[in-house]
Structure 1
Amino acid sequence: MSVWDGLAGQPEAIATLCAAAAATTSAAMTHAWLITGPPGSGRSNLAYSFAAALLSSDGADGDPVTTREVQARTHPDLSVLSTERVIISIDEVRSLVSSSQFSPSVSRYRVMVIEDADRMSERTSNVLLKALEEPPERTVWILCAPSDADLLPTIRSRVRTVRLRVPSVADVAELIEHRDGVSAEVAERAARHAQSHIGMAHRLATNIEARERREETLELALGIRTVADVIAGAARLLEIAGADAKAITEERDAEERAHALQSLGVQEGGTIPPQLRSQLRQLEEDQKRRATRSLRDGIDRILTDLLSLYRDILTLQINAGADLVNAELHERLAASARTSTAAQTLGTMDAVQTARERIEGNVAPALALEAMLVSARRPRNPEGGRETR
């Protein structure tokens, strides 16, 4: 089994990185890489597969022990910087740069991975820049970002960029089916509903509550008729986003707390000595920040699902002939398409994007969602007719 087997729809990128991992000359291998691609394209998955190949003693296909250590982030020659916050702090990058100066202990290379490198400020990026300008001979940097335009030009000039494309629904479905052990039908539907986002496809395929929340979101949007529906709908969308965020973070928070208590030598439910309480308070503060970010991510997932809904309606209105993301709702989508024009649907899609920008700009989510849903109101009569106020 190869370290590259868990990736979908990226043959060109895999070929480039596999050749680099197997290289014995500097022609194919370089000390700094940037993996770019849209959300869900598998940037971090590819980064860790590349890391496992570089750290393996068995060549570019990797070996099981190294692969497990990389997946668990426990390999002694692997350092990782990821964040749940909006930005990566300068102290985090300084610490990573400092550790990059050490020689590898058991492998050919020391590998430094930065997920979401686009979250670095200019000042923080300049700290990293110094490390990229004069790297130790056997240190390899792997950065991940949506686009190379998200990084400073000075950093872009010092990395080799590997660009990922959006994998096809079929590629993602095949990966989910074999990796998660679900039926071909469930995998295809999850990949289609996730619009080829690998992480979300996995979640929809393996979590029935996530599927139910998505279905409720679409049904709610299709049922918006009055201003009262708008207010109630916005409140319900917030509840759905909160439940989704809680489901993602709750289990992880419990695991982190249990691990922290164990490392401090405190039994679960036992009394925490005063001198150790500050460390647990820091963990709790980090978890609160992550919960806030998770709620925003949950709202963003809802808005992405709504965009897919209105995209399908627009597809039917202009007879584009493209495959529908929400094919199971074809009759409902066709009925909704008859109640509005293509221009109105485009206006609603613009409102969804505006809501996303407002929420990112710290506008109260309830207000942003209400303003967005106002444009989603449609008459009760499938053939048109007067709208209920």
Structure 2
Amino acid sequence: MTSVFDRLVGQQAVVDELSAAARSAVGASAALDDADGGAESMFGDAVPAPRNSMTHAWLFTGPPGSGRSVAAQCFAAALQCEIATGAPGSEVGCGRCHACATVMAGTHGDVRRIVPEGLTISVKLIRETVQIASRRPGVGRWQIVLIEDADRLTEQAANALLKVVEEPPSRTVILLCAPSVDPEDISVTLRSRCRHVPLTMPGVDSIAEVLVGDGIDAERARWAASVSGGHVGRARRLATDESARSERNQALGLARAATNESTAYGAAEALVKTAENSAKAISAVLDEAETEEMRTALGAGGTGKGAGGAMRGTAGFLKDMERQQKSRRTRLQRDVLDRALVDLAALFRDAVVASYAAPVAAMHPDHSEQTLRMAGFASPEKLLRCVEAVLACREALDVNVKPKFAVDAMVADVATALRR
């Protein structure tokens, strides 16, 4: 790998823009050094600034799998890159220097990355992070805050962040990642203060090339890329993990099961159970490591004088951690279930496309025979109602409806739509 930006698949326009901005940032950093790090940001308003210049707040948007968080992390590495000179066309984000390596590994002292594990990002976390990031950098050029899934910011957290974006410290850069610029994903005011970097879904060829580069068989890489919906991480998992392929088949099988009352609700229950088990398996590994680390930090297992009472008064800390772990487990279950629902909606969509023989690429090309049968079984209008039922289920999960109730309601709606 010759550059951190090599991790971005099919996003050359974004790479060019971020590389140019990172080179511009070298000059901005030098100017701040000459001014002895003045209190005011030298970037000014982000909106009218040229696209190839540096600014203090950025918003990366794109659908899941487009690489928005990868783009933000690569940009953070490029801003801290030790060999960057700022000369036009010069290398930036080399991927070889200590700064690039530590940013990409998540261990750089001046880059704080917030990855929400629960349902929301709290105002307390934002305030604590921003307070630290408002100081002068310790080892790099900038203090950088990278917030993944910024659409999970609570209203209070968004307001706390807005204050910093409106009056940024001279050495602080804010990088936000969200699905879109829709007000439901990011507040209008916060979005208006950020430079917007939209990412698109990479093509099948680009994804397959990456997987082959990872050592995956070319035929399997091509298949995984074609059914991943443009999601590089999903494609990699489908190509390497049998359980991921099994979960996908289970989700797609729900379309047939929903047509028969004797199988519909059993299939729905099995889908929810699979998501629950997957979330538990992932959480178990994370929880065990976190719990052991916390207990060690609080003095468990120590020897010597006073070691016996080291854990007294720590029950509150452990309970807080258990609540956070439970919230993460809930989020994981919903994420796994949502992925299954996206696959199912895409299958009904493919059936609609097949009904009209439209020259549009299928989302599940390996299930073309099934979609042709679906197109022969139900009219396009009925299939569209099935798509709407799946999307309504996703919305219900998003507002905390219990998965069993949401999926059962979806199955009932699909069955009703197909009977009409």
Tell me if TM exceeds 0.5.
yes
1:287 aligns to 2:325 (yes or no): yes
Once the two structures are superposed, residues 146-168 of structure 1 have per-residue CA deviations (whole angstroms, 9 ceiling, x without a partner) of 12233233322322111111221
- Report the Cα distance in structure 2 between the residues aligned to 1:76 and 1:346, rounded to whole angstroms: 50
CA shift, 1:303, in A, is 0.7
Could you say if the C-alpha distance between residues 310 and 276 of structure 1 is closer, same or farther in structure 2, counting changes exceeding 3 Å? Answer: same
Contact conserved, 1:203 with 1:210, CA < 8 A, in 2?
A: yes
Map of 2:233 onto structure 1: 199
Once the two structures are superposed, residues 1-60 of structure 1 have per-residue CA deviations (whole angstroms, 9 ceiling, x without a partner) of 211111111111111111111112566111111111112111111111111111121121
Could you say if the C-alpha distance between residues 47 and 374 of structure 1 is closer, same or farther in structure 2, counting changes exceeding 3 Å? Answer: same
Map of 1:4 onto structure 2: 5
CA shift, 1:283, in A, is 2.0
Q: Which amino acid aligns with 1:123?
A: Q
Could you say if the C-alpha distance between residues 134 and 362 of structure 1 is closer, same or farther in structure 2, counting changes exceeding 3 Å? Answer: closer
Map of 1:328 onto structure 2: 366
Task: Give the aligned CA root-mean-square deviation in angstroms.
Answer: 2.5
My pick for the range that moved more, 295-304 or 128-137, is 128-137
CA shift, 1:265, in A, is 4.9
- Report the Cα distance in structure 1 between the residues aligned to 2:390 and 2:77, rounded to whole angstroms: 40
- Report the Cα distance in structure 2 between the residues aligned to 1:189 and 1:220, rounded to whole angstroms: 22
Once the two structures are superposed, residues 153-197 of structure 1 have per-residue CA deviations (whole angstroms, 9 ceiling, x without a partner) of 33223221111112212222222332x321222222222222012
Contact conserved, 2:4 with 2:94, CA < 8 A, in 1?
A: yes
My pick for the range that moved more, 211-220 or 339-348, is 211-220
Identical-pair percentage: 37
Once the two structures are superposed, residues 101-125 of structure 1 have per-residue CA deviations (whole angstroms, 9 ceiling, x without a partner) of 2111111111111112222233322
Map of 1:381 onto structure 2: none
- Report the Cα distance in structure 1 between the residues aligned to 2:146 and 2:18, rounded to whole angstroms: 15
Could you say if the C-alpha distance between residues 187 and 260 of structure 1 is closer, same or farther in structure 2, counting changes exceeding 3 Å? Answer: farther
Contact conserved, 2:298 with 2:311, CA < 8 A, in 1?
A: no
1:35 aligns to 2:60 (yes or no): yes
1:255 aligns to 2:293 (yes or no): no
Q: 1:42-61 maps to which residues of 2 (within 5 A)?
A: 42-59=67-84, 60-61=92-93
Normalised by the size of structure 2, how large is the TM-score? 0.83
CA shift, 1:375, in A, is 4.2
CA shift, 1:209, in A, is 0.8
Q: 1:117-132 maps to which residues of 2 (within 5 A)?
A: 117-132=150-165
* Alignment gaps of 5+ in structure 2: 29-42, 44-49, 85-91
Once the two structures are superposed, residues 203-260 of structure 1 have per-residue CA deviations (whole angstroms, 9 ceiling, x without a partner) of 2222111111211221242243322212211111111222332343333323333433
* Alignment gaps of 5+ in structure 1: 379-383
CA shift, 1:98, in A, is 0.7
- Report the Cα distance in structure 2 between the residues aligned to 1:368 and 1:99, rounded to whole angstroms: 41
My pick for the range that moved more, 253-262 or 167-176, is 253-262
Given candidates 210, 219, 226, the residue that maps to 1:175 is 210
Q: 1:1-389 maps to which residues of 2 (within 5 A)?
A: 1-23=2-24, 24-25=27-28, 28-59=53-84, 60-64=92-96, 65-149=98-182, 150-178=185-213, 180-267=214-301, 273-377=311-415
- Report the Cα distance in structure 1 between the residues aligned to 2:261 and 2:399, rounded to whole angstroms: 25
Q: Secondary structure at the match of 2:58?
A: strand
Could you say if the C-alpha distance between residues 254 and 67 of structure 1 is closer, same or farther in structure 2, counting changes exceeding 3 Å? Answer: farther
CA shift, 1:61, in A, is 2.3
- Report the Cα distance in structure 2 between the residues aligned to 1:341 and 1:41, rounded to whole angstroms: 33
